[in-house]
Each structure stands twice: as structure tokens, then as C-alpha cells.
Amino acid sequence: MGVVAFGLVFYLLPVSHMLADGFSMAAWHKEFGDGHVGALIRFTLWQASLSTLAALLLAIGPVWALRRLRFRGRSLVMTVMLLPFVVPTVVAVSATLALFGADGWLMGLVRTVSLGRITDIDPRGHTWSIVLVHAWFNFGMIARLVVAYEGEAGARQDEAAQLLGASPWRRLLRITGPRLAPAWRAGAALTFLLSLAAFATVLLLGGTKHATIETEIFRETTQFLALDRAAVLALIQFGLVTTALLLIRGKGSPSESRPRAVGGRSAGLGGPQNGLRNLLAAIVLATTVTFALAPLASLVIDVLRPAGSWGLDAFRYLGTARANTTAAYAPGEAIANSLTNAAVAMTIAIVIGGAVTALATRRGTGAKLIGAMSIAPLVTSPVTLGFGMMLAFSAPPLDFRSRWWLLPVAHSLVAVPLVVRTLIPAVAGRRTELSDAARTLGASPLRRWFRIDLPILAPAIAVSLGLAFVVSLGEFGASSFLARPQRLTVPIAIGRALGRPGARSVLDAHVLSLTLVGVALGVLLLAEMAAGLIRRVSRGS
């Protein structure tokens, strides 16, 4: 009952408020009367399509190279490629400005090569910068999905076809292409969905020239106080995301009919190795790793070498008093607020997600329904969720807008589907023979849980805890609506710093971005270490 009540109050109520306000006929007539909504929809779909195409094109090279080469450190290369996918969006924007901005090292290289003829390339206000960031986010995810999908069995099919005399193009069109098509479709669909609901990248890089439905909801709410127009836009975005998600699910999961891996290695060569092609593949992988790391490396260099000399002086900013900074907040307080919110959101998400998992893994139609309902927050973008909560909890008897805990509750709603999708396979796949035998021998439920179930589920629980914490730590969309001025989070502080002119403000954003990445990586590492400790203690007791 507690899980149902939580979902009704904090998810269904805000969504129903948003839907009710969005169905106002007067607001719809007003919105579609000037053609502005049509332009927003077109640009939203246009940038999402371009971002998907760019990510697919960027993934082709590393997929080809990883399928061709087997070497030590191959898994490390794939991990590095996936790193942009887990970086918070505001950090990605900050890193992009560190690389391409007026004071970025790439801009300095362009000035040098052009002999001063090119003085400035500002990535803000351009569609290409939005598309580039989205492609950088997702290309590694697509490449890893495709390479992991194929397996050793797929490589053997290629080798057999080559031995039978099939040309490379014939193998691509008749064997490799059809076999890998489901994985490419899944990667493209996920990229399109994420780009469709993108908020921070468009808000911070699009400027006043470019707006999507997500950013327009924010502007109509915060700048013009036009809640009826924002509700209409939120309803449209809800419909677009729902339609996209249904189309994606209609295509089927790439796990369906996937080739079965025979060994632990990934796809191999399609025949005898060729030295020139292997060299080209190595160059492609080196370029890919450079592309994945360059923005983050630029961020590190900008923070550690702000005035031409190496040092940690920029980090003194984190402890600077509010009156002595260029920003209207204390960075140290923002970090403390984010850590507190993340800890609370993680706790809520693991409790709710664990309860949902326990219910969803039971037999029966009700269990399947609960499992399906657990992904409902995925249909609602964080911006739409934050806007709905602002509408639902801004008046008595549910006036929670001034409550600090409302923001971590919103973060937990974003994280719960990830927690559930991580725990369900682990719970459903565990062997119950040991627990049944322990029960027969008289072991109490608590003892069975700590001695048998917990060591088995510890890795999945650790991943869930880390995911929930990191999701809250980097969340920007819902926080833009719900964060109180006296309790700003790090992503909001980064966004505000990037919105202010001056090199000091940009440096402030870069310092906070690097701090956020460091904390997120540290939390994931601690979660993994905790899982190992739990397993060792449980086995030794």
C-alpha cells in the first residue's frame, strides 16, 4: 500500500494536474494560433533526428575497429567510449565550452593555425553544438551495444562466409547488416528518445535562438508565468515521448533473436588479418578514445591551469564566501545540498524500487502490471515531472513547494525505473534451492536473507544504489523547477555560472563540473567496494 500511495501522490497527481491544465481549449487555441508550437515541434524533432544520425555515423568506425581487432585493454576502450553516456548533461555542456569556447584550447589552436584570422567560434546559439553534444553522449553507447550484441557466433558466420568466397560488401549486405540491425535500431531509438527529451544542452547551448518543447516549458513558466501555455507544451511533449517509446517497444528488444555468444570474447575478425587494415582500425580507435576524452580533458586542463600555470588554486573557489564570488550562491553549500538530496533520493529509490521488484517478480497478472507501471516515469521527462509537481504542490492542502525534501522525491522518481530494471533480473535469476534448504534446516527469514540472498543480490543492489545517487547528483530538469534559491544544487549552480558573462564565471562552472564528476565516480567506486565487502562478510560469518 505504501508503494501505491507514493506513486499516486508524487507521480500520478502531478501528471494529472499537468494533463488537466493542458486540456484547456482556450490555451490550445492560443498556442496553435500563432504557429509557434509548430516551429517548436519541428525543431525538437529536427535536432533529435540530426543527433541520432550523427551518433550513428560516429559509432560506425569504432564498431568496425572493435569487431576487427582483439587486444588487451579492449574492454577498457569500450568503457572509455561509454564514459560520455554517464556524464551529467550540465558537465557535458561545461566540457564542450572548455573545448570549443572562446578560451578553450581548441580555439587557441584554431587561432594559431589561422594566424589570427579566426578569432572566435562560440558554440552557443548554434544547432551544430547541440547535435555534437548529443552525438558525443550517445555514440559510445551505440557502439558498445552493437559490439556486445554480436558475440563470437556472429564472427564465426563472417569467417565462414569469407572462406566460401563472399566479398566484404556481400558479407555486409547479406550477413553482418541483417544480423546487427536490431542492435543498431535499438541504439538509434534510445538516442532519439534521449535527444527528444534533452533539456540542459538546448537551454545552455541553444541560447535565445533555438528552443525545444522542453526549454520552452521552462521559459514560459519562469520568465512569462504562462502556466496554461506551459501545460499545453508539457502535454505535447508527453505525447511525443510516449509515442516514441511505444514505437521503440514495438520494434522489439535487441535481445530477441540475438546471436548466442559461445565464448567470453567479443566479435572477432572476419578472416585473416591485414596489416594495413589493422593499422587503420587502431587509428580509428585512438581517434575515438581521443574524441570521447577530449572535452573532459579540456575541463581538467582548464581547472588545473587557469592562468597558464599548473595548480589547485581554482578549487579555493569552493570554500569562498558568497560575498566574494561572482555567483549568487555558495559553491560549498551547493555541493552539500546535492549530496544530501542524492542520499535521500537514493534511499527512497532503493526502498520503493525494492518493494516494486518484490511485487513484480511474483507470479500473476498483477505482478506483470506492477512491473509495467514501474517504467511510467520514463515516459515523463524530468522537466514535465518537475512542472507537474510545481502545479500539484503549490497550494493547500498539499503546499510542499517550500519543503526541501520535494526535490529528492522528484529525483527518486527519475531513478526508480533504473533501480527496478537493475534488480528484477537479479531477483528473478537467483537460484532458490539454497534458501529453500536453509528454511528446511530451520534458518529464520532474516538469517536466510543475510547469509544467502544478500551476497547473491549485492552486486545488483550496489549498482542500483550508485545509479540512484548519481542520477540525483546530476539531475537538472526537475531541479530547474523545484530547487529553492536557498538550496541550489550543483547542476543548477553550474547552469547559472555558464549563463553569466566573464571568464571567472566559466571557470566557476568548470570547477563545479569537475567536482561533480569526481564525486559521481567516487560514489560508484564506493558502491562497488561495498558490494564486495558485503559478499566477503556474508561468506565469512
Cell triple for residue 333?
Answer: 553549500
Q: Is the pLDDT of residue 534 over 90?
A: no
Please write down the HEC assignment for all residues of 149-200: HHHHHHHHHHHHHHHCCCCHHHHHHHHHHHHHHHHHHHHHHHHHHHHHCCCH
pLDDT tens-digit map of 286-332:
999 999 999 899 889 888 887 777 888 778 777 664 444 445 567 88
> CB of 391 within 8 A of CB of 14?
yes
Compare 133 and 362 and report the one with higher pLDDT: 133
Beta strands in 302-383 (DSSP E): none
Read off the pLDDT band of 422 (50, 70, 90). Answer: confident
Read off the pLDDT band of 116 (50, 70, 90). Answer: low
- Looking at every residue in the chain, the average pLDDT score rounds to 80
Read off the pLDDT band of 203 (50, 70, 90). Answer: very high
Mean pLDDT of 181-185: 84
317 falls within a domain: no
Q: Does residue 15 sit in the same domain as residue 41?
A: no
Q: Does residue 1 sit in the same domain as residue 45?
A: no
278 falls within a domain: yes
Residue 229 has phi, psi (to 5 degrees) of -65, -40
What is d(CA 421, CA 347) in angstroms, rounded to the nearest whole number? 17
pLDDT tens-digit map of 233-245:
888 898 888 888 7
What is d(CA 149, CA 139) in angstroms, rounded to the nearest whole number? 15
Q: Does residue 362 sit in the same domain as residue 425?
A: yes
Q: Does residue 283 sit in the same domain as residue 183?
A: yes
pLDDT for the residue numbered 2? 76
pLDDT for the residue numbered 319? 65
Mean pLDDT of 259-270: 42
> CB of 412 within 8 A of CB of 3?
no
312 falls within a domain: no
Percent of the chain having pLDDT more than 90? 26
pLDDT for the residue numbered 490? 93
392 falls within a domain: yes
Cell triple for residue 200?
Answer: 540542459
Compare 11 and 540 and report the one with higher pLDDT: 11
pLDDT for the residue numbered 263? 39
pLDDT for the residue numbered 414? 92
Q: Which range among 158-172, 358-372, 388-402, 509-523 shows the weakest confidence by mean pLDDT?
A: 158-172
Q: Is the pLDDT of residue 173 over 80?
A: no
pLDDT for the residue numbered 153? 47
pLDDT for the residue numbered 535? 66
Cβ-count burial 488-498 (b if 16+ within 10 Å, e if not)? bbbbbbbbbbb
| 535 contacts: CB under 8 Å, gap ≥ 6 | 455, 458
Q: Is the pLDDT of residue 252 over 60?
A: no
Q: Where are the alpha helices (DSSP H) in 223-274?
A: 227-250
Compare 324 and 125 and report the one with higher pLDDT: 125
311 falls within a domain: no
Question: What SS3 state is found at 226?
Answer: coil
307 falls within a domain: no
pLDDT for the residue numbered 433? 72
Cell triple for residue 434?
Answer: 539454497
What is d(CA 146, CA 187) in angstroms, rounded to the nearest whole number? 8
Q: Does residue 86 sit in the same domain as residue 27?
A: no
Q: In Å, what is the CA distance from 452 to each residue of 27, 33, 419, 527?
A: 57, 63, 21, 20
Compare 381 and 115 and report the one with higher pLDDT: 381
What is the DSSP code (8-state) at residue 261? P
Read off the pLDDT band of 231 (50, 70, 90). Answer: confident
Q: Which range among 29-33, 261-265, 527-531 shows the weakest confidence by mean pLDDT?
A: 261-265
Compare 345 and 305 and report the one with higher pLDDT: 345
Read off the pLDDT band of 162 (50, 70, 90). Answer: low
pLDDT for the residue numbered 315? 81
pLDDT for the residue numbered 358? 85
Q: Does residue 55 sit in the same domain as residue 145?
A: yes
Cβ-count burial 457-472 (b if 16+ within 10 Å, e if not)? bbbbbbbbbbbbbbbb
Question: What SS3 state is found at 103?
Answer: coil
Q: Is the pLDDT of residue 409 over 70?
A: yes
438 falls within a domain: yes
| 334 contacts: CB under 8 Å, gap ≥ 6 | 488, 489, 490, 492, 493, 512
Cell triple for residue 360?
Answer: 513484480
Report the range out of 61-65, 83-87, 343-347 with the highest average pLDDT.
Answer: 343-347
What is d(CA 222, CA 481) in angstroms, rounded to the nearest whole number? 8
Mean pLDDT of 133-152: 84
Nearest to 338, CA basis, from 463, 516, 86: 516
Report the range out of 13-17, 69-73, 325-329 with the highest average pLDDT.
Answer: 13-17
Could you give the number of structural domains in the chain?
A: 2
pLDDT for the residue numbered 119? 61
Torsion, CA 100, CA 103, CA 106, CA 107, rounded to 10: 90
Percent of the chain having pLDDT more than 70? 79
| Residue 451 CB burial class (10 angstroms; 0-12, 13-18, ≥19) | middle
Q: Does residue 252 sit in the same domain as residue 348?
A: no
Residue linked to cell 529536427: 46
Mean pLDDT of 253-271: 44
Mean pLDDT of 460-476: 90
> CB of 474 within 8 A of CB of 523?
no
Q: Does residue 108 sit in the same domain as residue 253?
A: yes
Compare 172 and 86 and report the one with higher pLDDT: 86
Q: Does residue 272 sit in the same domain as residue 357?
A: no
Read off the pLDDT band of 333 (50, 70, 90). Answer: confident
Compare 73 and 54 and report the one with higher pLDDT: 54
Read off the pLDDT band of 268 (50, 70, 90). Answer: very low
Domain assignment of residue 433, given as a range: 1-34+322-541
Nearest to 512, CA basis, from 340, 346, 333: 333
Q: Is the pLDDT of residue 180 over 50?
A: yes
Q: Does residue 30 sit in the same domain as residue 40?
A: no
Q: Does residue 19 sit in the same domain as residue 50?
A: no
pLDDT for the residue numbered 442? 79
Mean pLDDT of 485-505: 85
Cell triple for residue 196?
Answer: 527528444
Read off the pLDDT band of 406 (50, 70, 90). Answer: very high
pLDDT tens-digit map of 17-57:
887 876 665 556 666 666 788 899 999 999 999 999 999 99
- What is the Rg, in whole angstroms, of the alpha carbon atoms belonging to the chain? 25
Read off the pLDDT band of 261 (50, 70, 90). Answer: very low
pLDDT tens-digit map of 364-399:
666 667 766 777 787 788 999 999 999 899 888 888
Report the range out of 87-101, 321-335, 523-537 with the highest average pLDDT.
Answer: 87-101
Read off the pLDDT band of 60 (50, 70, 90). Answer: very high
Q: Is the pLDDT of residue 487 over 80?
A: yes
The CATH number of residue 474's host domain is 1.10.3720.10
137 falls within a domain: yes
What is d(CA 411, CA 191) in angstroms, rounded to the nearest whole number? 22
Nearest to 140, CA basis, from 25, 63, 247: 63
Q: Does residue 29 sit in the same domain as residue 43?
A: no
